[in-house]
Structure 1
């Protein structure tokens, strides 16, 4: 299994897109730091901006596109039949791809936090508790992977080409942040469907961990603890993972 994971990582090393995403995720917090310094120069405000537009928007989009590259590699190169003759099962292959996505999610999240920390230090916004913020950043990486598992199932179900999958990743990322904004504005706070969406669960967990001053009572009543948020996301992720394994098992060689 470790060899399979290593092979999937080697495939990504030959591609420029994952490296470009890493550069973008590192540059983005620094730009936000310059913007936040003009307002109040507070690290909490900077982290809030990075959370909303980095962790909730850019990271799911990036993982969705990288997932597209991983899932379509054998189909594009017509190598699935060769891999199965080793023998490697389709389930093992998909599991290796998901492990790579998890590693990338955590790595991207860590890189984005370090860039946020560097940007904050550059503008004089010093965090009071770096380990807490670092742990939260890594947690958001894991949550981002669980967030895109429905997208993986859709890719396998629809057999879309790369362009359609990339567009779907963009739409999914943008739609998710729009729902979060509607939830935060009180428009969808009482909607049970919106409250259970993965991106909204991440937002509710963030409110419980980094409650902003003056938070409305309607939002305060909806905050989630870390254990509850992870349980909800893991439950949904497990269900969509099972669907993905079934669909990938039906892929034609």
Structure 2
């Protein structure tokens, strides 16, 4: 895991993403302050467009950089001579992605808190919001595990993988918006998609006033949401380990 972190330290993109994720909530805070100045409203905006859009996109692109590092530098054969198994390499990469997901989520929440304080929007229960932000980081990692499997299966080049990450992130938020608008609320496939599961968990934890009955009936508890995401994530992880084990040296 330490070697994978060192690889990322040499890259500018992860640092640029961290700066973007910290700046984004502050911009939203300025926008939210012109409407009602409520921290709940600010956190809702950051949840929708930060945690559900920017974070999966960022993790997908960083995952691409990690997964393609050995292939681009032709170092996989050297690493396996240490010896380190391919399974251990992939496990280390996934651990780094988990650490980054939690770190990015924490940084985004702290920036949200700072933005809220700057415009006078004070949260009533900071630990609850902080815990939810960290939970969303873990959920974001589970969300992008299908992307990891697709990258390994398709053997796409780096540019194609980055484009796929962008498309996956945008498609996910569009499905969430359709679900929230009632268009896909009764669709069983849409209801089980990772991003929609995160949204349904958010509705159960931070129920907005005036929530339609159709959405209220679809909310998920933390345990159910994590179980559903972990189940899907475990399945795609198994597929990824099998595919990575077949990578040519």
Same-fold call, TM > 0.5? yes
Unaligned runs of 5+ in 2: none
Q: Deviations over 1:94-119 (max 9, x none)?
A: 00000000000000000000000000
Which residue of 151, 160, 163 maps to 1:164? Answer: 160
| Equivalent position of 1:234 in the other structure | 230
- Show CA shifts across 1:110-159 (max 9, x none): 00000000000000000000000000000000000000000000000000
Q: How many residues get paired?
A: 249
- SS of the equivalent of 1:173 reads helix
Q: CA deviation at 1:85?
A: 0.4
Residue equivalent to 2:121 = 125
The reply on whether 1:135 has 2:131 as its aligned counterpart is yes
Matched residues in 2 for 1:10 and 1:89: separation?
19
Q: Hey, which bits of structure 1, 4+ residues long, moved more than 2 A?
A: none
SS at match of 1:48: helix
Superposed CA RMSD in Å reads 0.1
Cα deviation, residue 76, structure 1: 0.2
Q: Secondary structure in 2 aligned to 1:211?
A: coil
Equivalent in 192, 195, 199 of residue 196 of structure 1: 192
Deviation per residue, 1:177-215 (Å, 9 max, x gap): 000000000000000000000000000000000000000
Q: Could you give the per-residue CA deviations for residues 69-114 of structure 1, whole angstroms, max 9, x where no partner exists?
A: 0000000000000000000000000000000000000000000000
Q: 1:219 aligns with which of 209, 215, 220?
A: 215
Superposition map of 1:57-72 within 5 A: 57-72=53-68
Alpha-carbon separation, structure 2, partners of 1:96 and 1:166: 21
Show structure 1 runs of 5+ residues with no match. none
Looking at structure 1, the residues matched to 156 and 141 of structure 2 have their Cα atoms a distance apart, in angstroms, of 20
Give me the whole-angstrom Cα distance separating, in 2, the residues matched to 1:244 and 1:152. 7
Displacement of 1:247 after TM fit? 0.1
Secondary structure of the structure 2 residue equivalent to 1:81: helix
1:1-253 matches, within 5 Å, as 5-253=1-249
* Cα offset, 1:221, TM superposition: 0.1
Matched residues in 2 for 1:128 and 1:237: separation?
A: 33
Task: Find the residue that maps to 2:78 and give its secondary structure.
Answer: helix
TM-score, length-scaled by structure 1: 0.98
Which whole-Å deviations, capped at 9, do the CAs of 1:37-64 have from their partners, x for residues lacking one? 0000000000000000000000000000
Q: TM-score, normalised by structure 2?
A: 1.00
